[in-house]
Amino acid sequence: MSDINSKIYLDYAATTPVDSRVLDAMLPYFSEYFGNPSSVHGPGQLADAALEEARRKVASLLGARSEEILFTGCGTESDNLALRGAAMGQRRSRGAYHILISPVEHHAVLHTVQQLEAYYGFDVETLPVDPYGRVDPQDVKASLRPTTALVSVIYANNEIGTINPVAQIGEVCREAGVLFHTDAVQAAAHLPMNVQLDNIDLMSIGAHKFYGPKGVGALYIRRGVEIIPAQTGGGQEFHLRAGTQNVPYIVGLARALEIAQTGIEERSGILSGMRDHLIERVVKEIPDARLTGHPQNRLPNHASFVFKGVDGNQLLMMLDAAGFACSSGSACKVGNPKPSEVLEAIGVMPAWNKGSLRVTLGHGTTPEHIDQLMAVLPGIVDQLRKLSAV
Ligand SMILES: *Cc1c(COP(=O)(O)O)cnc(C)c1O
């Protein structure tokens, strides 16, 4: 086994380390202020004060009100609660059963709506995307029906980095009176978030993608949107998500979001400079290499490629052995040899779509890391092609 400290980590879209400022904010809430926020006594009220302060902070960072922010166990849970809860609510209140999604959603969205279709009688329709993986707001408009319960389109794609025209999609939905959910789990780390400007009704985020802890997420629910809870029990989180709140993690999520949403422009400039340098070199120095996703309109830290005739899993293993932690696109697809639905949706040909590589940069990345990667990547790709040719 290789030593983790000798690895160059280039997989910040899979997860990020906890920022030391975040950890400092969390620590007192494990054993010093350990009360249950639902308790009436002093220790409980101290925990409740921290919980509500975190809620206010998250709300103000997203352009929302406190009572519109709900804490969950992760980004996946936020997606689940938003989709299942709103779909059930819309069917109950107005008989709506049609769900529109993009073909480039994270599995947390895709598999949730597939279950709604298979077991709960909803009708799921997939929107078209352009070759960069972008949804056209006019296509959303044309696909809306009187029976549409909600629309869900990913804010920024985890596999190919492309950013969707979320504000325009939200506007189309708003005009038609249809709920709009967006999975902003990747976007919140790098893009300024504002649910008012973006016309969003439901938005999912997860802390570990922006230097917060794993196992905590948040869901924005616009006031008045009916959600049928998936988890029942106590009255926590406005009776929508029962279970004692994880106060230290929630405090950590709020602090991490505050750090992520501050100084975005400066950080984006640094990251996108390194990203563009990497993209330029890969496309120039490696034959039959292509960028996937949009060349400009993409997450500032995100570079993703396909290499013709290369096995992506072998590529990752070779890179790992050479000291680089990268990904094929989605950390949720370990051991899955099938080409990704996202690459199929954007029309990547079969000869290319198994050879994907995602390189995502972060706080620890330096220009030297990019040079070090480029010192080995062309040779590894070449070697794998020769192996598969025999
Ligand atoms: C990581 C991710 C999720 C899942 O979030 P977890 O907090 O890991 O459950 C959902 N959607 C997107 C786009 C992601 O990148």
Ligand 1 centre distance from Cα of residue 326 (Å): 17
Which atom of ligand 1 is nearest the CA belonging to 108? 10
What are the tokens at 23? 């950890």
Q: What is the 3-state secondary structure (H, E, C) of 212-245?
A: CCCCCEEEEECCCCCCCCCCCCCCHHHHCCCCCC
For the chain, strand residue ranges (E) read 8-9, 69-72, 98-101, 123-126, 148-152, 179-183, 202-206, 217-221, 289-291, 302-307, 324-325, 356-360
Give, using CA atoms, the residue closest to atom 8 of ligand 1. Answer: 75
CA–CA distance from 255 to each of 18, 202, 219, 249, 306 (Å)? 11, 21, 16, 10, 36
- pLDDT of amino acid 111: 98
Ligand 1 centre distance from Cα of residue 14 (Å): 8
Ligand 1 centre distance from Cα of residue 33 (Å): 29
Ligand 1 centre distance from Cα of residue 162 (Å): 15
- pLDDT of amino acid 387: 86
Is 181 close to ligand 1, i.e. is its CB under 6 Å away?
no
What are the tokens at 22? 């975040």
- pLDDT of amino acid 2: 46
Which residues lie across from 151 on neighbouring strands?
100, 180
**Is residue 326 flagged as an active site residue?**
no
Segments of the chain scoring below 50 in pLDDT: 1-2, 331-332
Q: Which of 18, 71, 76 to mutate to test the pocket of ligand 1 (most atoms within 8 A of CB)?
A: 76
Is 183 close to ligand 1, i.e. is its CB under 6 Å away?
yes
Calculate ∠ Cα 127-131-134, nearest 5°. Answer: 50
Length of the chain in terms of residues written = 390
Domains and CATH numbers, the chain: 3-17+264-389 (3.90.1150.10), 20-260 (3.40.640.10)
Ligand 1 centre distance from Cα of residue 42 (Å): 36
Give long-range contacts, CB 8 A cutoff, 24+ apart: 112-121: 112/79, 112/80, 112/83, 112/84, 113/83, 113/87, 113/152, 116/83, 116/84, 116/87, 120/87, 120/88, 121/97
Residue with tokens 């029906």: 145
| Burial classification of residue 112, based on how many CB atoms lie within 10 Å of its CB (0-12 exposed, 13-18 middle, 19 or more buried) | buried
Answer yes or no: are the C-beta atoms of 100 and 152 closer than 8 Å.
yes
Which atom of ligand 1 is nearest the CA belonging to 76? 9
Closest residue by Cα to residue 200 from 158, 150, 240, 160: 150
Q: Residue 45 carries which DSSP code?
A: H
Which residues lie across from 218 on neighbouring strands?
71, 205
Closest residue by Cα to residue 272 from 304, 301, 303, 307: 301
CA–CA distance from 65 to each of 52, 57, 68, 221 (Å)? 12, 10, 5, 10
**Catalytic annotation, pick one of 74, 173, 326, 332:** 332
CA Rg, the chain, in Å? 21
Calculate ∠ Cα 314-108-95, nearest 5°. Answer: 150
d(CA 302, CA 127): 24
